Chains A and B, each alone.
Chain A
Amino acid sequence: MKYDVFIGLEIHIHLKTQSKMFCSCPAVYGDEPNTNICPVCLGYPGTLPQANRFAMELGYRVAHALQCRLSERTLFARKNYFYPDMPKNYQISQFENPIGEDGHMVVALPESGERSIRIHDVHIEEDAGKMIHAGADTFQDFNRAGFPLLEIVTEPDLKSGEETEAFLRDFQRTIRYLCVSDANMDEGSMKCDANISINHPGKGLGTKVELKNMNSPRFVRLGINHEIARHSKVLDEGGEIVQETRLWNENRDITESMRRKEESDDYRYFPEPDIPPFCPDREFMQKVEESLVELPLTIKKRLVSQYGLTLEQSEFLHDDYERVKLFEDTVALGATAHNVAAWLSSDVKKILNRDSINIGDSSLTPQRFNQLLALIEDGVISGKIAKNVLDEIFKTDTDPQEIVKKNNWAQITDKEALTTIIDKVLSDNPQVVQAIREGDHKQRGWLMGQVMQASDGKAAPEVSAKILQERL
């Protein structure tokens, strides 16, 4: 790269609270427009904001997890600007003394390995309503107005689209681990804007361009890389970058200049007089401490070192906190780590995806999982039958042992019973038997297949093979 690249992010996440940030309206997606509204979030005269304490807790949780210096006296501020979807035409946000400042997040980045990306600040604010354009009309839905938002601003420490995508994915993971937000870019519970600049090496930050409208980590990578290329071309030709806001056009894979807004960005911030400074007490901070979790990168490394998993297995597991939990809880009951990891990444994953089930509230408890694996290990059922049992666990929400009993799926290990079945198969297929005795060993597999069919798949494979061999 001929130029130094500087990328900083402004990430907004919707906090998972019951109510909005400043009133008791439900903070939910998808309801009929303008049904979750009240005089407060509609900005009626005389209404006042009531700060959501749980939202503050979630905000402090994130700031703490990102190693920020936490504010003992955090202030709300009014950010003043006019826009049709703004109920008050000011947003209650934070300016001085935000919840957290000067933090960092260690991420495993492609090319450069583990790096610490600095967090400038974490602050809390409210969301605006939504405008819906339909032909010549524009409609306004204020269900979202007042939703609690947490904004996380990084320093311009990222250096490429790839790094940024990796950072974002780890950031998402961390946020989900902390249970503060779904952090879904396509659903709208997380948004990411980027500030990009490039410059000749050693000259510091260049003229920055703000990039918006990237609705997935992948688009963030594409958008940023496109911008870097665009800036490079301009500098190569001796030109100057125009400081502006651009939008990522995902249909055309390019960035486009946003129609210039008439008003400049003077937000005239001043302290919010309606809400006194928030001073977290000991009880509050204790709750914040207790809710902290081991972070994704640490877990990924620990899965390898503690359980001997491969990096690939560890990557897969650590992508979802519930997966890690199920894995560890099952292993704690006695199951073999590799087995659990293998089943999770194959058959379990298949069923969860097929039926759109959330692993956290599925019927596969650690106890059942452990039981299932034990049944295989003890030879009670075959690996093949086990897949059916797994399916039944999800279908019927019952224990594996019960399922096996109910369906009579226990392997047949009794020598006499097996011998009877095998003898019948042999007598039904004399030509094949003859062929094998004459040297065509490939047909053995077909015979085993017949044995399986005759026994409804329950013939214990190893024992059956042995007996078959004897009888041949």
Chain B
Amino acid sequence: MNLDMRKWSSIMQDHQKIKQYEEKVRQLDSVLGCFLSFQPDIKPPIANAEMGNIPVAVKDNIAVRDMPLTCGSRILENLKAPYTATAIHKLQQAGASVVGKTNMDEFGMGSSTENSALGKTVNPWDTGKVTGGSSGGSAAATASGIVPLAIGSDTGGSVRQPANFCGVYGLKPTYGSISRYGLTAYASSLEVIGAMSYDLQLLKVAFDVMKGIDPHDQSSVSAPSSITAPGQSKLRAAVLKVDSGALDANVSQSYTQACQSLQKNGYSLEDVEIPTMKYVIPAYYTIAAAEASANLARYNGMRYGKAPNHAETPGQLMKKARHDGFGAEVKLRILLGTYVLRSGFQDQYYGQAQKVRTLIRQEISRIFEKFDVILMPVFPTQAFSCGGTDMDSYQQRLADVFTSLANLAGLPALALPTGHADGLPTGVQIMGSAFGEDQLFSAASAMAEDFPLQAPPNFLDIGDIR
């Protein structure tokens, strides 16, 4: 499973081995399409590197100096980042080497990576299925063994859902715990930088390296000291009660298996209902679209990015740049977002959604008074087919319900794999209270024994590199 970090380190420091690695990746990636740009470079090793001199793939909406920053969109297809995101900079200082930028749904909008305007990524388990999204390229790059760690972003499930579809661990940390400086904004109050890996311990190290207050991001926060104090064992798990028929058979079965595994590991389980769950999707899409309409306004071809060669007026230039540069899903969300902010409607839509969001937070908060973690599904189905035949875009949006909850509440959640069924991965999600990432790791760690990892058919084994 390519979990030998020293092996990775030896490849990254050897000219010959890096060349072999690059060859193998290009071959595999011609099938999978994980990367929009790939350029492994030999780097001088850092002594006592926390990250151990390993290669890392970064989603193409996160800035890495001098590397492309396309966000999967035509409007930025010629842009190279003039700076590096704080979180990535920290990883680099700890020894990680960014070898490429991964494909994604345009500007983070989507749950399949099929909304990318610049490439197509397929699932390493079945190339006729999607990787999930929007961090599909990162999930596939990790699942296929190309990198031991990949960085993504999670606005409504965009790290956890593709991790789930591709059979790897995917962490969405507490809102504000990792600096957003360098993460192209889609929905500022909802999104976080996250990470994926087969290796839980590596994931934990990556989180510890990336987290922390950043003066560049005034919304960044650090854990209050009360959280880090050692307490009594935290083994009370709430299990979200899901309507029968809401989940596919395989997903439903893996949900049951996850419960059993937790129980076996000493957790006490209790079913919970979250009545405000039914408002999650309307609230999420209203808030996300509103913030997106403002966050994407800057893309007008004036200062960077793609612009038409000629226009009669500045207004025309902007219109043309955006019309040609944005895909349909992006345009839809911008229009929706502009609408819900309009004077006369704002209170009714955006204002109301924020109030609903507060209610949702309060309800979750009450649950965490009695429980330490909440178990819930990630997505109603396993990876669906490419081309939208199984699930159209509307259905895909509705299905974000289980993941968007953590974004609305600003809480950490970890997607963990629970084996396979019908040739595709299954998995579940554990949600924790603010800054409760440690509990997520320990629960997942306990359950790992029951769900041994398996490599997908499309896999690059670094054991072959000598």
Contact = CB atoms under 8 A, between A and B. Distances in A.
Given A45-B185, A90-B294, A39 B82 contact: yes
Contact of B218 (A39, A51, A140): A51
A274 B218 contact: yes
B182 A89 contact: no
B298 A268 contact: no
A46 B294 contact: no
Contacts of A51: 218
A274 B76 CA distance: 23
B263 interface: no
Interface stretch (B14-22, B239-247, B338-346): B338-346
Given A89-B297, A268-B342, A274-B218, A45 B76 contact: yes
Contact of B302 (A39, A78, A84, A275): A84
B63 interface: yes
Nearest to B318: A82
Contact of B314 (A42, A84, A273): A84
A472 interface: no
A55 to B, nearest CB: 14
A78 B184 contact: no
Max chain A Cβ within 10 angstroms of own Cβ: one of B62, B63, B181, B218: B218
A262 interface: yes
Contacts of A308: none
A276 B343 CA distance: 24
B63 A273 contact: no
- Which of A78, A88, A89 neighbours the largest number of chain B CB atoms within 10 Å of its CB? A89
A87 B184 CA distance: 15
Interface string B254-278: 0000000000000000000000000
Given A45-B76, A82-B300, A90-B294, A50 B218 contact: yes
A379 interface: no
Contacts of A45: 61, 63, 69, 71, 76, 79, 81, 184-185, 298-299
Contact of A274 (B83, B219, B304): B219
Nearest to A266: B343
A80 interface: yes
A44 interface: yes
Nearest to B69: A45
A48 B341 CA distance: 22
Contacts of A273: 188-189, 219, 291
Contact of A46 (B182, B215, B299, B314): B182
A270 B76 contact: no
Interface string B51-69: 0000000000111000001
Contacts of B192: none
Interface in A80-110: 80, 82-84, 87-90
B302 to A, nearest CB: 6
A43 interface: yes
A268 B338 contact: yes
Contacts of B181: 46-48
Interface string A123-138: 0000000000000001
A22 to B, nearest CB: 10
Nearest to A40: B216
A90 B297 contact: yes
Contacts of A275: 218-219
Contact of A270 (B61, B85, B290): B290
A46 B298 contact: no
A78 B215 contact: no
Given A50-B218, A268-B341, A89 B83 contact: no
B310 interface: no
Contacts of B69: 45-46
Contacts of A50: 215-216, 218
Interface in A241-270: 262, 266, 268, 270
B255 to A, nearest CB: 34
B220 to A, nearest CB: 9
Interface in B148-191: 180-185, 188-189
Interface in B377-420: none
B401 to A, nearest CB: 22
B315 interface: yes
Given A78-B294, A274-B219, A89 B300 contact: yes
B350 interface: yes
A49 interface: yes
Contacts of A140: 302
Contacts of A90: 294, 297
A266 B218 CA distance: 28
B370 interface: no
B386 to A, nearest CB: 28
Given A39-B82, A87-B303, A48 B180 contact: yes
B461 interface: no
A48 B216 contact: yes
Contact of B298 (A84, A89, A266): A89
A138 B82 contact: no
Interface in B284-310: 290-291, 293-294, 297-300, 302-304
B347 to A, nearest CB: 11
A262 B302 CA distance: 20
Contacts of A82: 297, 300, 315, 318
B217 interface: yes
Interface string A289-315: 000000000000000000000000000
B219 A80 contact: no
A262 B298 CA distance: 19
B272 to A, nearest CB: 29
Nearest to B188: A273
Interface string B337-377: 01001110010001000000000000000000000000000
A393 B271 CA distance: 88
Interface in B62-118: 62-63, 69, 71, 76, 79, 81-83, 85
A44 B304 CA distance: 8
Contacts of B79: 45
B434 to A, nearest CB: 15
Contacts of A39: 82-83
B274 to A, nearest CB: 24
B294 A80 contact: yes
A289 to B, nearest CB: 25
B346 A80 contact: no
A100 B198 CA distance: 53
Given A270-B290, A273-B291, A274-B188, A48 B298 contact: no
A44 B63 CA distance: 10
B346 A268 contact: yes
A42 B298 CA distance: 9
Name which of B180, B290, B300, B302 has the most chain A CB atoms within 10 A of its CB.
B302
A270 B294 contact: yes
B48 to A, nearest CB: 30
B341 A80 contact: yes
Among B83, B216, B294, chain A packs the most CB atoms within 10 A around the CB of: B294
B82 A48 contact: no
A275 to B, nearest CB: 5
Contacts of B62: 46
Contacts of B350: 270
A-B pairs with lowest CB-CB distance, top 8: A89-B297, A268-B341, A45-B184, A273-B188, A273-B189, A84-B314, A43-B298, A46-B182
Interface of B: 61-63, 69, 71, 76, 79, 81-83, 85, 180-185, 188-189, 215-219, 290-291, 293-294, 297-300, 302-304, 314-315, 318, 338, 341-343, 346, 350
18 contacts: A42-B304, A43-B303, A45-B61, A45-B69, A46-B62, A46-B85, A48-B185, A50-B216, A80-B293, A84-B302, A88-B298, A268-B293, A268-B338, A268-B342, A273-B188, A273-B189, A275-B218, A276-B218
Given A46-B182, A270-B350, 4 more contacts: A42-B304, A44-B81, A87-B303, A268-B293
